[in-house]
Amino acid sequence: MTIFTQTNLTRRNMVQGGVATLAFAPFASPALALSNDQASGHVDKVIATINKVIASGKSESNMIKDFEAIFVKYSDVKYLASYALGVDGRRATAGQKRSFAKVFQAYIARKYGKQFRKIIGGRLEVKATKTVKNHVEVKTIAHLKGQAPFDVTFYVSDKSGKVLFYNMFIEGISLVLTERTEIGAMLDKRKGNIDAMIKDLKTAG
């Protein structure tokens, strides 16, 4: 299963990549209260909830609603949206940021929820955890029927005040970096019009 896709580098990507350290700044704290067991337990809950939705037999549209609820509950949606908007967030109004965050979480649910459905008949299994500076990496293995197992790694932190995952790597490709590229491309296509991008994002994914 391939969830993320690589796109060609543009000047925007290079500029945004240059400020990637700043974008991760909210998590840059020398102390980490989160334990490996807490992070692993959080990912276990994510996996169990996803598997429950997949096995529910619901229609795709109803599954997508459930996946959105999962993202809202278990991931740092505010951070994900802020990172995806990147440097363009500096010129966005407070209202645009709120609208984007709301539309973005639904977009993420549609895009990745459709991919999670492909796990039907398979499973995700936590294999290892590792504390790395300001977060805990929880490595899982995805087992799908008829395919070789592959890595899915969650980055978990409690810097928001709650235990949440704020990034996910599938076969080494980052969710947040991928979505920053996708949102940036959408803005470029619309000549930087944030409102137009938000409107179109409502049906994307």
Asked whether residue 165 is domain-assigned, the answer is yes
Evaluate if pTM is beyond 0.85: no
Asked whether residue 8 is domain-assigned, the answer is no
Give the residue numbers spanning the domain of 64.
Answer: 32-201
pLDDT tens digit sequence for 18-51: 333 333 444 444 446 789 999 999 999 998 998 8
Structural domains of the chain, count: 1
pLDDT tens digit sequence for 181-195: 999 999 999 999 999
Asked whether residue 14 is domain-assigned, the answer is no
Residue 201 has which token pair? 């994002």
Asked whether residue 23 is domain-assigned, the answer is no
26: phi then psi, degrees, rounded to nearest 5: -55, -20
Distance CA 101, CA 19 (A): 20
Helix (H, G, I), strand (E, B) or coil at 98: helix
Asked whether residue 161 is domain-assigned, the answer is yes
Distance CA 161, CA 98 (A): 20
Asked whether residue 1 is domain-assigned, the answer is no
Asked whether residue 21 is domain-assigned, the answer is no
Q: Are 63 and 162 in contact (CB under 8 A)?
A: no
What's the CATH code of the domain at 70? 3.10.450.710
